[in-house]
Amino acid sequence: MKDVYILAIETSCDETSIAIVKNGNECVYMNVLTQMDTHANFGGVVPEIASRMHTENITMVLEDVLSKSNIKIDQINAIAVTYAPGLMGSLLVGVEFAKTLAYLWDKPLIPVNHMAGHIYANNLTNKLTFPLLAIVVSGGHTNLIMMEDDYKFSVIGSTLDDAIGEAYDKVARVLGVKYPGGPNVEKLAKDGQPTYNLGTIKTSGYDMSYSGLKSSVINLVHNEKQRGNEINKNDLACSFQTIAVGQIVQKTKKAIKEFQIKNIIVAGGVSANNYLRNEISKLCDEYNVNLSIPEFKYCTDNAAMIGAAAYPLFINKKFSDFSLNASSSDEIF
């Protein structure tokens, strides 16, 4: 079969990214323009500013990709775009841009779910081997998902309340560290010890929970402040991270034993966390499970993962017409 080149677009949050992906497993060229510094001034992503910045930047990002990738428009087989879930205004910029390119260049249009993108980011490093267990950890998701085949998702566990990334971000705020919260809490935790007692999380089966842990951190900080005591931020970040990641490890271990899992992948923004990567890696070594985690640059939001997730859809001709719309909450799991 001839090589397939997909031009992929991701604008679901605060990264404007376009990539060209070959055969779903090789990123030929990618540009990720992050708005992080702008949103850091506000302590989090401001949706209105995010969509305006995507509009300002997306054409420049495309120009860069077309001039540096050495791929001609004639060689591109399809245009893929994240249509959901995410910030509505941000998604709309990408979707309308993708529709325009598909129309102008007469290419098929492939709508891609952002969470599928995070999962298929693994194909850019190691090809997915089915059946597998996907650990999906991001700002909006904390799921354990069995996959029997491409796009066959069966959720065995999810959070009952907050997502793990959301908890990292809230803890960052209460510790007074800058946006983006997750990586900065990880940095603090690196030089700390898990000395604070934040209680234990009690959930049954494969359910998970983060709101109690988050509240424990918030209450502890407030109480210590009222007493005029100093908080050791490194130790508190480390205590939080140990429990937050520990819960994922514990539920994954249960799944490995119950379902005789042989392949595990990790997906989503929190998969960039080194402590989580190491803990899951130790667990997989212990139980002789094959583990795949995307390279750092493919863990956080990027267009290459959208091109990777679009490939099986291209093969199965899952194209959309120009009525494609963005959706803030279209869940595929």
Question: From Zn ion, ligand KG4, none, which one binds at residue 107 (CB under 5 to 8 Å depending on kind)?
Answer: none
For the chain, the residue count is: 333
Binding status of residue 166 toward Zn ion by CB under 5 A: no
Query: Which is nearer to ligand KG4, 111 or 182 (by Cβ)?
Result: 182
In the region spanning residues 246 to 305, those forming contacts with Zn ion, defined by CB under 5 A, are 301
Query: Which is nearer to ligand KG4, 68 or 187 (by Cβ)?
Result: 187
Planar angle of CA 213, 219, 221, nearest 5 degrees? 105
Q: Alpha-carbon dihedral of residues 252, 168, 58, 64, nearest 10 degrees?
A: -70
Q: By the 8 A CB rule, do 50 and 37 touch?
A: no
Planar angle of CA 158, 160, 161, nearest 5 degrees? 120
Binding status of residue 14 toward Zn ion by CB under 5 A: no
Binding status of residue 10 toward Zn ion by CB under 5 A: no
For residue 103, the minimal CB distance to ligand KG4 (Å) is: 28
Q: By the 8 A CB rule, do 118 and 135 touch?
A: no
CA distance 54 to 16: 6
CA distance 264 to 131: 9
For residue 135, the minimal CB distance to ligand KG4 (Å) is: 13
Question: From Zn ion, ligand KG4, none, which one binds at residue 186 (CB under 5 to 8 Å depending on kind)?
Answer: ligand KG4
DSSP classification of residue 303: S
Question: From Zn ion, ligand KG4, none, which one binds at residue 270 (CB under 5 to 8 Å depending on kind)?
Answer: ligand KG4
For residue 14, the minimal CB distance to ligand KG4 (Å) is: 9
Question: From Zn ion, ligand KG4, none, which one binds at residue 273 (CB under 5 to 8 Å depending on kind)?
Answer: ligand KG4
Q: By the 8 A CB rule, do 267 and 134 touch?
A: yes
Residues touching Zn ion: how many (CB under 5 A)? 1
Taking CB under 5 A as the rule, which mask of x and - marks residues 294-313 in contact with Zn ion? -------x------------
Positions touching ligand KG4 (CB under 6 A) are: 114, 118, 138-140, 165-166, 168-169, 180-183, 186, 268-270, 272-273, 300-301
Query: Which is nearer to ligand KG4, 24 or 86 (by Cβ)?
Result: 86
Which residues pair with residue 8 across a beta bridge? Answer: 19, 80
Q: Which tokens in the block code for residue 210?
A: 């983060």
Query: Which is nearer to Zn ion, 163 or 238 (by Cβ)?
Result: 163
Binding status of residue 169 toward Zn ion by CB under 5 A: no
- Tokens 């702008």 sit at which residue? 38
Of 212, 236, 214, give the one whose Cα is nearest residue 224.
Answer: 236
Interface residues with Zn ion (CB under 5 A) are: 301
